[in-house]
Each structure stands twice: as structure tokens, then as C-alpha cells.
Amino acid sequence: MKSLPQGKLYYSISEVSELVGVKAHVLRYWETQFKMIRPRKGRGGARMYRKRDVETLFDIKELLYDQRFTIEGAKRKLLDDRSAEKDQMGIPFAHLDRKEALRGLRDDMRNLLDQLRGDAPEPRSRKRRSG
């Protein structure tokens, strides 16, 4: 994989074609097949690829040309790889009882919903004391 020129936000289709090593019409075809490639278009309709687009194009080329994937297989592989990268962040409940925290969250959400509906009782923490 060639390195991308530093300091550029966008690359023209001719630059990307040269970097990736495929003709411009191949890049345009890949755009129709791989929805994750969405270059912006300038006023005149010229494609402007971001760094992420170019990196994805390198991945597509490797899958199709080097590893001999089909288009459908490459799509699936890229989507699987992307979903594997998105690890869910855990909520730290180390010092809290998980059930109690979830109950509190549920109660807060119910109170918020009641407030949005306009029929909210006064929030629990501000209940009036008779005196």
C-alpha cells in the first residue's frame, strides 16, 4: 500500500486511481457496489475522496485482486471487520448493585417521560415535607 500524501483532506479521483493502482472507472464501479465508499462531490461534480475512503479502496483491491474474493464476499468481509472493530463500551458498576442502578435509571426515565407529557409529579428528590 502506498502512503498517502500528508496534510491533504481530500484526494481527486485521478490521485486515488494512481495511488490504488486501478483505473478511475473501476473506482466509480466500486462506489456502486460498496456503500461505505461515498466520496464527496465538488461543485462541478468532481469526486473528492477522504483518507478513510482511500484506505477502504486499498482494502477492497486487496480482497478482490490478491485474495480473489467475489464482490459479495468482499462486502461481507468488510462489514464483518467493521462490526468487529466496534466494541461496546462497558458501564462501570463496580461499586453499585447493577439491578439497583437499572431501577434508578428506569425511574429517572419514567419521571422524564412524565415531565415531557406534562403530567409529572414533583421529582422525588424535591418532595415537599409537611410541616
pLDDT in tens, 37-51: 999 998 899 999 999
pLDDT band at 128 (very low <50, low <70, confident <90, very high): low
Q: Which of 56, 80, 60 is nearest to 4 (CA)?
A: 56
Which DSSP state fits 85? Answer: H
% helix / strand / coil in the chain, to the nearest 5? 55, 5, 40
Find the mean pLDDT for residues 46-57.
94
Q: What percent of the chain lies above the pLDDT cut of 90? A: 53
Domains and their CATH numbers in the chain = 11-84 (1.10.1660.10)
Look-up of cell digits 475512503 = 53
Claim: this prediction has a pTM higher than 0.85? no
Give CA–CA dist 129/131, Å, rounded: 6
